Amino acid sequence: MDKEQLAIARLQDAARLSEHRYKKPLMVTYSGGKDSQVLVALAERAGINFEVVNSHTTADAPETVYFIREQFKAMEEREIKCSIVMPRYKDKPVSMWTLIPQKLMPPTRLVRYCCAVLKENTGRDRFIATGVRWAESTRRKNSRGVMELMHKDPAKRIILMGDNDEKRQLFETCNLKSKMTVNPIVDWSDDDVWDYTHSEHLPVNPLYCEGQKRVGCIGCPMAGRGGRQREFMRWHAYEKMYISAFERMLDVRKAKGLPCDWQTGMDVFRWWMEDDNISGQLSMDDLMGEER
């Protein structure tokens, strides 16, 4: 079976299980990136019942936000149900800029609380499809599967690393109430994704045409120092928004009597951008101990 047919078969399996377990259609997550564009095209080709959901992170590039709106309009014209989920935290609307002061620390590679709040809350107790791929990182290669049943207790998680994984029956019959995920293109390379995009004439986020390698949140700690520097040069207003959020974060830390050697939001920003020349850094242990 070729990769397209295998991905379609995975989507059909997941859609069947979604209707069976949750009595709801498969939820296809959409970020405006190339992988989720391919995912939607495959779901359409699979002939399944599905809906498309975008988690609005509030830190996406404006170009990506406009692209998502355009694509949702086009999908709705093809009678696909689409929705944009606005983030909430502690039962209140939240954004990256209001979350940072509440969490008392900047988001980091080790503590990606922003993903947990702004993106991963979507699809709780649903079967979701994502464009996650092993080729994206070693971490994903080691931790993500074709299908996954997530649970807060790691011992109860079921991750199928292949289509004929021996845990398949356990996965299908498990009664745990939690989020299930299918990653239909998990084994696709970057070239596979671009080849499919071009051969199927799929729409492409204009930021790729500018040479951007990723179109996620601006300043994402996962993007690496050089990538983030380029992003802040391209979208300077976001640098200002982070600095201002860090300033408000320092105010809250001071009000709570927490250790606070940083003087300004700019000090925090430099530390966050991994500038070794800045003094007054808190250790990760200090920060993580206070993370709420």
The residues of the shown chain that bind ligand SF4, judged by CB under 6 A, are: 57, 59, 107, 112, 114-115, 118-119, 216-217, 220, 222
**Cα(127)–Cα(167) distance, integer angstroms:** 18
CB of residue 1 vs ligand SF4: minimum separation in angstroms?
32
Contacts with 141 (C-beta within 8 Å, 6 or more apart), sequence order: 134, 135
CB of residue 256 vs ligand SF4: minimum separation in angstroms?
23
Dig out the tokens for 230 from the structure. Answer: 């380029």
Of 48 and 94, the one with the shorter C-beta distance to ligand SF4 is 94
Q: How far is the CA of 124 from the CAs of 112, 131, 149, 154, 180, in angstroms? A: 18, 17, 11, 17, 9
**Cα(97)–Cα(102) distance, integer angstroms:** 9
CB of residue 118 vs ligand SF4: minimum separation in angstroms?
5
CB of residue 67 vs ligand SF4: minimum separation in angstroms?
16
**Cα(225)–Cα(227) distance, integer angstroms:** 6
Of 113 and 134, the one with the shorter C-beta distance to ligand SF4 is 113
Tell me the residue type at 130.
Answer: T
Of 123 and 216, the one with the shorter C-beta distance to ligand SF4 is 216
Tell me the residue type at 138.
Answer: T
Dig out the tokens for 182 from the structure. Answer: 């299918």
Dig out the tokens for 249 from the structure. Answer: 């974060």
Of 16 and 112, the one with the shorter C-beta distance to ligand SF4 is 112
CB of residue 266 vs ligand SF4: minimum separation in angstroms?
20
Of 42 and 61, the one with the shorter C-beta distance to ligand SF4 is 61
